[in-house]
Structure 1
Amino acid sequence: MTEPVRAPYGTWPSPVDAALVAERHGRPEWVGAVGEELWWTAPRPGEGGRRALVRLRPDGGAPEPVLPPPWNVRSRVMEYGGRPWAGLAREGEGPLIVFAHFADQRLYAFEPDAPGAGPAVPRPLTPPSRVGGGLRWCDPVVVAQAGEVWCVLEEFTGERPGDVRRMPAAVPLDGSAARDRAAVRPLDGPRHRFVTGPRLSPDGRRAAWLAWDHPRMPWEGTELKLAEVGAGLSPALSGVRTVAGGPGEAVAQAEWAPDGTLLAATDRTGWWNLHRVCADTGAAEPVGGAREEECAGPLWELGSRWFAPLADGTVAVLRGRGASRLGVLDPVSGEVADAPGPWTEWAPTLAVRGGRVTGVAAAPGRGWEVVTLDTATGRCRVVGEEHRDAVDPAYYPVPEERVFAGPGGREVHARLHPPRHPRAVGPPGAAPPYVIWAHGGPTSRSTGVLDLEIAYFTSRGLGVAQVDYGGSTGWGRAYRERLRGAWGVVDVEDCAAVARALAAEGAADPARLAIRGGSAGGWTAACSLVSPAAAGVYACAAIRYPVIDLAGWADGGTHDFESHYLEWLIGPPGEVPGLYRERSPLTHAARVAVPFLLLQGLDDAVCPPEQAARLPAAVAGRGVPHACLTFEGEGHGFRRAATIRRAVEAELALYLAVFGIEREDAPELELTGAGPDPSGGNARGGREGRGEGSAGMLEP
């Protein structure tokens, strides 16, 4: 066996290039059963970032895309969207699929097996609208007996982000609403600001859905609504009432079991646990007992499904602490049988066909795949989007779960991804550079699965630490409540605590630490450049589509969904107006003293470009090296292959320049503001890091 070559961290050659990162970007989503068939959406970075609709027939053949470009199956409801399609199996006619097309946000009906001379063509079910953001649709279910699709309607009434109303609505399948908005039938009035799609009971007599209002976010408090469904071809909802939830209780999902039992995932115990809810009295009891683990998560996307009832009375459920694994819960004994296999993380999308449960799962050495569990045999198998190694897995990082001590001794959860290479190690006595990753949300968390963007850095000799700072999900309500009123404080402190601890224990070079994040993580990265809590910790920052100016973001500067989020994260503006100025990185821009990279999509409605533009404007003329890259056609998060490649390469170029690492293949990046090289070399890589010595180049 060949001994590894000692080479400076950051100089290691790697086959994990930016093109591969872009090619494998994204994951399959929104799995659903249509009779015996499985359908889902899949990312297509090389096709403009669209979401393709994929079909898997029960005959054992390969999955097949059913709509060519430019069809893009993706909803924009609440900007983050949600479940964009539904299907109905029909005897002798093939499936009927209803989906939202991203470009115009209209609902379309698609009958792939319809007879005809050529390929089936989707037909519109809803009209276009020129008012504000138009008409948008999400979380649909086909109600065959009524000849309708029931879903969430988001309707803009003006040009401002807040000029919007949402309600459960019924769209006729005959296409009559394609030219006539009046043909869309409200199932309930716009009594709440936000709703999920209604779920019909097995007997069709009741409907359940979730609702909430400003200023709450859905992980703060939601209401489980229940209504009676009238008879006839156009059934109406009546007797709408709240049976569970409220301002201090977040119901994340509700479903009907086959026997008519109403199940809900609620955090009334301090953890998102599965409960059986009496539809008449609202009384709720934990299914299988209360557990100190999460069986649901934050409702960022409508239609997310963390559990699914099975015909035999058991329930497929995603559960865990800081992770989400598939298990089958016996409500009587309380026992959970975990799905076998290597998968350590399952996405909140589940489909049930008899005794088979299908979801989307990944692991530290496997990308996201469509996986089916046969509960009769206890076996799992990959049925779609099968992971295939494009490079030797020895280039993949191996995550380490860690708990660090934050201020006051509080626990801070993190995942470390040390540098890893099959034929290279660092010089004796040297510690690698490390990049602290702050996740978005901020009410979210990291996942310890294969991410080629992380491998892009670790295989070159840079470590990555994903920090689930206070406010993250996966660790119970008390952990995420730490961020209440403390955004820009707790998140910054926790990230800095991990960085300092890594340096103190010799795992990271204290002179070569960086922080990066996108969206809310971009805010944390920007705040870390000006906060005394992180003073002197970071040598640079990579900031993606961030929140920068709190006052501007809260005052009509973002979309409706998060327009009151700061009341929880910071405090009500009328009560703590000074905090909005004090916490903003712009107020303390004079403290920015290290280089930064700013990446921004020009079509971002969540964190608009003008937010990001304020940071470089605030440091202009102060000699702070920085680069700002903007991308046409990109919204909140990057989806296009060319964008992903450029963003990853620019971030590496920043670290090479600032950390003083020389590579012949260093990507180009011009840092403006203080000459060609903040490290003493040049923007393609300067002097080597401290104590590393030199070594010959390796071949990947």
Structure 2
Amino acid sequence: MAPRVAPYGTWDSPITADAIARSGNSVAEIFVDPVTTTIYHVERRPTEGGRCAIVKTEEGIELVGKEFNCRTGVQEYGGAAAAAYGGTIFFSNFSDGRIYAVKEGSAPTPVTPESKVLRFADFAVHPKYPHLLVCICEDHTRPEHFAVVTSLVTINTMAHSTALLDGVSPLLTGADFYAAPTFSPDGTQIAWQQWNHPDMPWDGSEICVASVAVENGRVQVKDEKRIAGRWKEVSAAFPAWASDNTLLFTCDESGWYNPWTYDMRTQKASPVLSQPIPEDFAMPQWALGMSFGAPLGSFGAAGTATHVHVEGTESSDHFVLYSALRVGCPALYLLSLHSRTLEELACPYVAIGYVRRVTADSVVFLGAKADAPREIVLCTLKEYSKPKFTVLGAHDSSTDAWKALFSKPAPLTLTIPETGEPLHVIFYPPTNPEYVGPEGEKPPCVVNVHGGPTGMADQALDLTAQYFTGRGWAWVDVNYSGSSGFGRQYINRLAGQWGIVDLRDCALSVSQLAAPPHELIDAARTAIRGRSSGGYTVLATLCAYPDAFAAGASHFGISDLRKLDEFGHKFESHYCERLLGGTVAECGDVYDARSPIYNADKIRAPLLVLQGSEDAVVPPEQAELIVRSIRDRGGQVEYTVFQGEGHGWRKAENVKRALEEELKLYKNVFDLKGAA
């Protein structure tokens, strides 16, 4: 049957908001037991109020009951909420903040006392004394962001009692932030990452090592050394031990996150590659527990991986499987630490994360394609440079019936006229086999602004984008100046320029994509939408470029930069200083000039504002301020507060409502009659 001719934006699609909200669970993180090689994942479940469950991946067995929520509030964005060792899983329970231990088939047992002020994450288990943990502890005894204390602590899981800190002992203090503690295989050394205000971890962070001793039921350290990284200038991150004597990490000394090693014998850090390559082997650490590389074993002459030295190879000839970003797109590499060379591997995935070692010849990761949900993938290298990819767990069939509707991403590089610099966007055309648009008509377009702002839009399947493209809309993801995945220089474009270059790039994307040689969209029918800092860019763009967009949707966006600085949480409490060029005391006029609340009179486009009532990252006051300002002057704004939600929608009913309200606004503004 020939497709129907119907105006863009009015097409009917089976990809409904309700179907998206209930389309399946998502993987929050992956972790592996290094002793048993069992793979686990934390699964986010919208139909259970956004609860995070612990699942034994290959069997699909849930290991804790519905009264437990494996999630942590450390740094507000959480991550690294669980670890496994020798058949025991240690996890942070969100409702009470306690750490629990659980074995398959048994009930979880608390190993830290009750506390309303302590949060734990990022667990490292001592390989010789597996009842001892080292982890991040975030102390909210005083809740103000400047008073929250972060440290590394040691936890004796056999010594807990009802006393507040029994079994929990301080290990390292003094830095503003800690992450990624990791023991050497023999347990004699520990490495970690640390950074201090005003840096974010991608601005400047350090890798440190220290000797370990176990005395009186606790881990102690001595001979601490900073081995890489530099405040405000160089980010060193993601430490992982390749052997007892070799520590692997990433460092952007060259302007790109490339692999480095530290030799414990020579006490020298050096890049693995003889020449840096313009690719990022890591991403900014918005959440704890991220990983982009996994040390493997050695490969002998026959190509077989082994744990031990193979005759004819150097004892240090270990390999690492790495996922890197080349102009925002992933490349999978096998890295030789001995020859210091890279072998690129054929890979079908457009986004890769949570790369974890399983055995000497296999890793597991979270892989995404452009036409399928993210899936847990076992990558096996039985033969050198010939990977085999196996999807673990039950197949997620929730989107199978929609594959013919999925719009394919088209990465485009635009040019910023005044600088000649590249601007990266991803274009999704309207796609539905049942319809075609009228001859000569260009589609309406939704411009999506990613959060961060030091973040990135990738090409993984995004059902929100497909919700619109299947209805005859174009969709554009803008990786504006300041986005990650394109090197440190691209990130640094936003330094002092937040609220300037990101707005320019969003407006520029519309004008260039609507004009020759592209001519892909109708510039008069465009809407802009974004979440968190992307919501800020939405509001600020509608102020600065009032004629560029006909509608906007801000999901928990920022309206007052002074209040963000005053009432933000610890992790981001100095973020604005780099983005805006100084503190409020140093350049308060900049904060005001770039705050949508002080420019709301310039907003002419109808606006939708969505907010979670419990959001600690962008508090509800930020939404209320801009809504009140627009309403007071008679502007068009719709405002919805989702009760019980934080920084994003976890509950299925709220995911559904948010999508439906956004589409309704755009259709009303563009007077599009047709299917819902």
1:353: which partner in 2? Answer: 359
Q: 5+ residue gaps in structure 2? A: 299-317
Whether 1:608 aligns to 2:645 is no
The alpha-carbon distance between structure 1 residues 449 and 586, as it changes in their structure 2 partners (threshold 3 A), is same
Whether 1:78 aligns to 2:64 is no
Contact 1:106 1:128 in 2 (8 A): yes
Q: 2:431 aligns with which of 420, 432, 435?
A: 420
RMSD, aligned α-carbons: 1.7
Q: Residues 624-675 of structure 1, C-alpha deviation per residue, up to 9 Å, x if partnerless?
A: 2111011011111111101100001111001101111012x54xxxxxxxxx
Whether 1:272 aligns to 2:257 is yes
Q: Could you tell me how far apart the structure 2 residues matched to 1:128 and 1:493 are?
A: 50
2:64: which partner in 1? Answer: 67
> Structure 1 residue 416: deviation in Å?
0.5
Task: Map residues 199-598 of structure 1 onto 2, 5 A cutoff.
Answer: 199-232=182-215, 233-247=217-231, 248-279=233-264, 281-287=267-273, 289-312=275-298, 313-321=318-326, 322-377=328-383, 378-384=387-393, 386-388=395-397, 389-408=399-418, 409-505=420-516, 506-531=519-544, 534-555=545-566, 557-573=567-583, 574-598=585-609
Q: Could you tell me how far apart the structure 1 residues matched to 2:353 and 2:143 are?
A: 35
Q: Could you tell me how far apart the structure 2 residues matched to 1:100 and 1:399 are?
A: 37
Q: Residues 272-330 of structure 1, C-alpha deviation per residue, up to 9 Å, x if partnerless?
A: 00011234544322346421101001011122111111122100111122023433222
Q: Could you tell me how far apart the structure 2 residues matched to 1:122 and 1:178 are?
A: 16
Find the residue that maps to 1:236 and give its secondary structure.
Answer: strand
Task: Map residues 659-674 of structure 1 onto 2, 5 A cutoff.
Answer: 659-663=670-674, 665-666=675-676
Q: Residues 338-361 of structure 1, C-alpha deviation per residue, up to 9 Å, x if partnerless?
A: 454521210234232231110000
The alpha-carbon distance between structure 1 residues 599 and 222, as it changes in their structure 2 partners (threshold 3 A), is same
Whether 1:141 aligns to 2:142 is no
2:158: which partner in 1? Answer: 174
Q: Residues 140-186 of structure 1, C-alpha deviation per residue, up to 9 Å, x if partnerless?
A: 02225332121111111313233211111111112515533143111
Q: Could you tell me how far apart the structure 1 residues matched to 2:669 and 2:178 are?
A: 47
Q: Could you tell me how far apart the structure 1 residues matched to 2:550 and 2:562 are?
A: 28
> Structure 1 residue 3: deviation in Å?
2.2
Contact 1:325 1:345 in 2 (8 A): no
> Structure 1 residue 240: deviation in Å?
1.7
Contact 2:5 2:436 in 1 (8 A): yes
Task: Map residues 13-162 of structure 1 onto 2, 5 A cutoff.
Answer: 13-24=12-23, 27-34=26-33, 35-56=36-57, 62-89=59-86, 95-113=87-105, 120-130=106-116, 134-143=117-126, 145-146=128-129, 147-162=131-146
Q: Could you tell me how far apart the structure 2 residues matched to 1:476 and 1:49 are?
A: 34
1:629: which partner in 2? Answer: 640
Q: Could you tell me how far apart the structure 1 residues matched to 2:530 and 2:197 are?
A: 27
Q: Could you tell me how far apart the structure 2 residues matched to 1:197 and 1:153 are?
A: 12
> Structure 1 residue 112: deviation in Å?
1.8
Q: Could you tell me how far apart the structure 2 residues matched to 1:257 and 1:601 are?
A: 43
Q: Could you tell me how far apart the structure 1 residues matched to 2:161 and 2:273 are?
A: 42
1:649: which partner in 2? Answer: 660
2:308: which partner in 1? Answer: none
Find the residue that maps to 2:128 and give its secondary structure.
Answer: helix
Q: Could you tell me how far apart the structure 2 residues matched to 1:36 and 1:210 are?
A: 25
Question: AA paired with 1:171?
Answer: I
Q: Could you tell me how far apart the structure 1 residues matched to 2:93 and 2:343 are?
A: 38
The alpha-carbon distance between structure 1 residues 407 and 103, as it changes in their structure 2 partners (threshold 3 A), is farther
Q: Could you tell me how far apart the structure 2 residues matched to 1:81 and 1:406 are?
A: 36
**Which segment drifts farther, 644-653 or 67-76?**
67-76
The alpha-carbon distance between structure 1 residues 453 and 412, as it changes in their structure 2 partners (threshold 3 A), is same
2:307: which partner in 1? Answer: none
**Which segment drifts farther, 641-650 or 311-320?**
311-320
1:677: which partner in 2? Answer: none
Find the residue that maps to 1:302 and give its secondary structure.
Answer: coil
Q: Could you tell me how far apart the structure 1 residues matched to 2:67 and 2:49 are?
A: 8
Q: Could you tell me how far apart the structure 2 residues matched to 1:301 and 1:598 are?
A: 25
Find the residue that maps to 1:526 and give its secondary structure.
Answer: helix
Q: Residues 20-57 of structure 1, C-alpha deviation per residue, up to 9 Å, x if partnerless?
A: 21123663132222213110111211010111111035
Q: Could you tell me how far apart the structure 2 residues matched to 1:444 and 1:348 are?
A: 17
Q: Could you tell me how far apart the structure 2 residues matched to 1:206 and 1:127 are?
A: 28
**Which segment drifts farther, 314-323 or 620-629?**
620-629
More strand by share: 2
Task: Map residues 670-681 of structure 1 onto 2, 5 A cutoff.
Answer: none
Question: AA paired with 1:14?
Answer: S
Q: Residues 489-512 of structure 1, C-alpha deviation per residue, up to 9 Å, x if partnerless?
A: 010011111111122232111210
Question: AA paired with 2:258?
Answer: N
Q: Could you tell me how far apart the structure 2 residues matched to 1:473 and 1:177 are?
A: 45
Find the residue that maps to 2:632 and give its secondary structure.
Answer: coil
Q: Could you tell me how far apart the structure 2 residues matched to 1:139 and 1:324 are?
A: 26
Find the residue that maps to 1:628 and give its secondary structure.
Answer: strand
Contact 1:288 1:331 in 2 (8 A): no
Q: Could you tell me how far apart the structure 1 residues matched to 2:671 and 2:646 are?
A: 33
Q: Could you tell me how far apart the structure 1 residues matched to 2:246 and 2:296 are?
A: 12
Contact 1:16 1:391 in 2 (8 A): no
Identity over the aligned pairs, expressed in percent? Answer: 34
Find the residue that maps to 1:391 and give its secondary structure.
Answer: helix
Q: Could you tell me how far apart the structure 2 residues matched to 1:26 and 1:560 are?
A: 30
Contact 2:115 2:164 in 1 (8 A): no
Q: Could you tell me how far apart the structure 1 residues matched to 2:96 and 2:620 are?
A: 22
Q: Could you tell me how far apart the structure 2 residues matched to 1:273 and 1:352 are?
A: 23
Question: AA paired with 2:388?
Answer: R
Find the residue that maps to 1:129 and give its secondary structure.
Answer: coil
TM-score relative to the length of structure 1: 0.89
Find the residue that maps to 1:517 and give its secondary structure.
Answer: strand
Q: Residues 76-126 of structure 1, C-alpha deviation per residue, up to 9 Å, x if partnerless?
A: 10000121111112xxxxx1110011112211111224xxxxxx2211111
> Structure 1 residue 462: deviation in Å?
0.8
